Structure formats: C-alpha cells, structure tokens
Structure 1
C-alpha cells in the first residue's frame, strides 16, 4: 500500500472497483514551442459503461500564426487497457506510456498521431513519510473524492511525432506528468501549470478546489514552485494560506503565503478546448482547458529577502465553477 502512495504514477486502483476513474496526464511541448500535445490515458469503471480511453489536447499555430486548440476523447474497451507496476507501464490499444518513453498510435476523425518520445530524468517533488506525495498527509486518508499526484514537474524530451501527416520535432522540448484518481473531479476548482518561463529552470503547479471531507467540506489547495532547484510548497496541510483575489470564467488572481515566502499567480485562459472529466464515477462532465494560457508570477522569499518575477505563455489552465 505505501509503495503505491509514495509512487503515484503506479495504477492506484483495480479493475473490480465500481464508479471509479483513474487517469494520467502526459504533456509534451516541442523545442520551438509551436506545438503542445497532452495525452490523458485512463479507465472509467462506472457500472454499465466500463471502458478505457485516451483524451488529447493538441495546440498548434495556424497559417495566421494564431494558436488553435483541438481536443478529443478516443474510447477503447476495458480489456484494451493493461498495466504493470515494475517497471511501470500502461497500454491502451497500441499506445504505451512508461517512465522512460511514450509510444503513440492514435487516430480519430480529425486527428492522427504516431511516433515515440523518450522522456528524460524526471524533476521530482520533495516527499517524506508524513508527506508522501503532493497531497501531504491527505494521501493516507481513505475514500477521498479525488486524489492527485505530481510525477514530474519538468523533464526533457527526445524524438519526433507525426501529427496529421506532419513531422514535429520534440527533441530538447519539455514534458510534465501528473495524475488523478477517485470517483469525481471537484465540483469547482482552479488548476494552473507551466514549466515554460523565461527562467528555464522554473516550473509551477497550483490547484485549489472544493473538497468534500466526510461530513464537511473545505477549500483545499496545493502549490509547488521550483526556481533554480529551490522548491517552495504552499498547501493546506503545511500552514499556508491561499486567497482568490479575483476570478472569472477565464481569469484568476491568487495570493499564497507562508512563513517562508509569498507567491502571487495571475492567470488567463486564451485558446481552449473541451475535455471530459469524471462525475460520480462516470466520464460525463465537460470542462474547458487551454495549454497556451498566460500567467505571471511574483515570488517573494522572506528568508532570502529576494523577489522573483516571471511569465509564461504556455500554461495549462482550468477554471471550473460550480
């Protein structure tokens, strides 16, 4: 059990569960930053509609040099899903996901992609026995609505993909991996991620959500930012605070603070597409996500008495309202 908790990339469930989902999020961005593709392999064990799937989010530049976003949900039978934990591997149809490579063979009416990408050394988050994953001690609590894992904040890519009959070079591009599992996504949440800042070493993950917790609910949040190999963690479980200063369907301004630092995040969705998220175990909730969102960050290190500012135009952003 503990091996799974401290290694969230592993398949956390089993195929006999009812009203259960599990999905991995593999993001890949080309070296020239003109192409982003995220693939979400997963399983849905809603009774009567058990199946596996691969969702995709594909962002590229059109002839007018404008970003366009295409998304899709490719459905597979449940018996087309297989996994192993040592070494980790998930296969759905002909597409394979591991810790060292992805081998992709996907096709639907509007989108085809095939090829193989090597994944470089993962940038892991700090963990401990008391805080075995990004969820801190909440990782040990059973029957949470949704569990989350951050697997790699940043890693390099190697290889090419053929996307809609066009060869796209990903060598020296960047990747990111996280995952979710449980019964439902939160009914409202904000999620922001980027590892494409002016400072190439910087990577950011942030999420704040409505969390059902047995007979009560609370606003739970997690934020991890790495700058020049120094990690800052803001979370419900470590005494930090989070304030949503403003929020619309496309923008959010958040301020996080603890004894060590203060972080301001301002995000805006630009181009976006539709994804399908789980609700009560069934993949039937439509949400909006963009991979080319814009964010600016301001980090004040109270101990070092330093201020760091940066921005990204390749941010993943989801803003879901109840």
Structure 2
C-alpha cells in the first residue's frame, strides 16, 4: 500500500501548546468484540498539561487508562508512522523503536506502534487491571483508491496549519495477527480487521461525531469512516463532515469540496448521514441502545473526559449511483460510534 500523507510526527519542535493522537483498532468478528488503542502526547516542551497517555476501549466496552507523565520518554519518527512511549524500563538508552522481543524484555510499561506493529503493556496500579498486546498489521486500504497515491483526509490544504485539528485516516482497512491479553483473558487472532487514524494540532474540535466500521455481514472487502465536527479555521469556526468508503478496490469519497453532506445526530443513540456527489449518493444510519463509555481527549484544559463511544453499534449503509441503481447495501453490529465536545443537549442537524 502506498504511504499515506501525514504518516510522520507533526510537532515542529518549537510550539509549546500542541497535541498529537493516534488510534489503532482491531475487531474480532466471531466474538463480536473490539479493542481500540488510543495514544496521545501533549505539550512536548513541558507545561501544565505536558505528558502522554494510553487508553484502551476493550472487550464488552470496558476501559483502561494509564498516564505517561514524562514527555522525554516519548519518541516518534517525522518521516514514517512510528511512535512509542515508555513509563518503566530496564534500559538506559534514549526512547526508540525496539525489536518486539527486546521491547518485551526491557520495557516494563509502555507501548510502541508503527504501520505494521502495535505492542505494549499498561496496568492500573489501583485496580491491578492490565492489558498486554502484540500484533502485526498487513495494510490493505489507506485513504484512496487501491494502488494509487493516497489522499489527505482533509484535502491538500491540510499540509498547512490552517485547520485545527488535522485529521488523517492512516489505514481504512487492514488485517491484524497476534494476541491481546485483557486482564488474564487472552485473545488470539489471525487476519482480524484492523484500522488506524490520527489527529494533531493546537486545538480539538468544539464538537464532533464519528462512525467507523470495517466488519460487515457478508462483505469482507468494505470499510467505512464518516464524521463531522465544528473546527477552527484561522479565526473562525466551521461545520464540516465527510464520508469515505473503500469497496472492492475503489474509493468513494464524499467531502465538502465535491459533495453535499447532511447529518442528523442525536445527543446519543442515533447517527444519520446522507451525501451525494456528481456520481454517487450514500445513506448511513448508526444506532445503539448501549450507554456508551466516556473517553478522554486533549482539550485546552488537558486530557479530560469529553467524548462517548461504543464499539458495539449497529450500522446500515446504502451506496447508490445517482439516479437510483444500488451498488451496495450492508449491515454491521460492531460499528464504532462516537460523539464528543459540546453542547449535546439537543439533536445536531446540518
């Protein structure tokens, strides 16, 4: 798969107020379970909110979190997707990428992740609840047509610091092989559907929503990512949304510069989006009767609970040619659904 834009670490080495976050996910279809790993770093130069964290949304929507207070024990590559953070280690060397076996032997708590590996161990000292994981990744889809140059999720202008935050789908679909030890329950998997994305900048969206799924009944070659938010553009705010579908080697993109996009998002429980461009139209309906799990995200006040997720959402997707010919109808019961920011005291229609 060709390399995606924005693979590398974005911090300029100067800015004091900055965050970057990475999201890796693997879904086990036969068990209807998903594990989402969220890594973040704030203010590398130091300051009130300086430090990192690792969050895991695990089996049955259970949650585990661990801080990494020392930014000097974080490392990341500027030219490729590779990062890690150590909390406890037996090495005197600077933080860096390690061979997986060397990592296991020498890093008592921490993580490392690339485009082909996700590995780590964290433990809550209060509850003793822990997670240890190691799996390799075979990328299939980035963000664009298969075997073509990959696209910036937010368009070519995202290479400039105009939009806050930046957002990039790193891998819309891939296959993961390895294991996850979720507090003494070990899950082994081979060619399990995997996904990854990232965001970065000086501010998080004021308000946002997200739908993501690459496990559909009867469809092994289908991946969806959709979302919207109120983001900062220079000195004003704007509401933007997008829908991206990878299906049988083709990328169907609905973005503000090529499509009309509408949404109706409830404060929790139902996500509806419709979009059309010059050739295609799509409709999404996500829903859940689960309560969801609060997750932390970087804000002006540091990393705080400000979003709500489930990995056990229901999704209906229909893709059509303009004029009515149906290309695809698909359903899932393991869709990732999220709302974040505020206010969410009423439905958001756009």
TM above 0.5, yes or no, is yes
The offset of 1:97, in angstroms, is 0.4
Q: For 1:138 and 1:200, how far apart are their aligned partners in 2?
A: 33
Residue 84 of structure 1 corresponds to: 77
Structure 1 stretch displaced more, 248-257 or 174-183: 248-257
State the Cα deviation string for residues 183-216 of structure 1 (Å, max 9, x = none): 2321111111000112111100001111222243
The offset of 1:219, in angstroms, is 1.5
Residue 312 of structure 1 corresponds to: 332
TM-score normalised according to structure 1 size: 0.88
Write out aligned runs for 1:94-113 (5 A): 94-108=110-124, 109=127, 111-113=129-131
Residue 11 of structure 2 corresponds to: 13
Which stretches in structure 1 are left out of the alignment for 5+ residues?
A: 60-67
Q: For 1:280 and 1:223, how far apart are their aligned partners in 2?
A: 28
Which stretches in structure 2 are left out of the alignment for 5+ residues?
A: 87-109, 344-350
The yes-or-no answer on 1:44 pairing with 2:42 is yes
Residue 258 of structure 1 corresponds to: 277
The offset of 1:84, in angstroms, is 2.5
State the Cα deviation string for residues 26-72 of structure 1 (Å, max 9, x = none): 0011252433111111201173221011111113xxxxxxxx31223
Residue 224 of structure 1 corresponds to: 244
Residue 62 of structure 1 corresponds to: none
Q: For 1:185 and 1:37, how far apart are their aligned partners in 2?
A: 23
State the Cα deviation string for residues 290-309 of structure 1 (Å, max 9, x = none): 11111111111238933421
Q: For 2:77 and 2:238, how far apart are their aligned partners in 1?
A: 35
TM-score normalised according to structure 2 size: 0.81
Residue 158 of structure 2 corresponds to: 139
The offset of 1:270, in angstroms, is 4.1
State the Cα deviation string for residues 273-300 of structure 1 (Å, max 9, x = none): 1111122262224210111111111111
Write out aligned runs for 1:1-322 (5 A): 7-14=5-12, 16-45=14-43, 47-59=47-59, 68-76=60-68, 77-85=70-78, 88-93=81-86, 94-108=110-124, 109=127, 111-126=129-144, 132-198=151-217, 199-238=219-258, 240-245=259-264, 247-271=266-290, 272-280=292-300, 282-302=302-322, 305-320=325-340, 321-322=342-343
Q: Secondary structure at the match of 1:49?
A: coil
Q: For 1:19 and 1:281, how far apart are their aligned partners in 2?
A: 11
The verdict on how the C-alpha distance between 1:114 and 1:131 changes in structure 2, with shifts beyond 3 A counting, is: closer
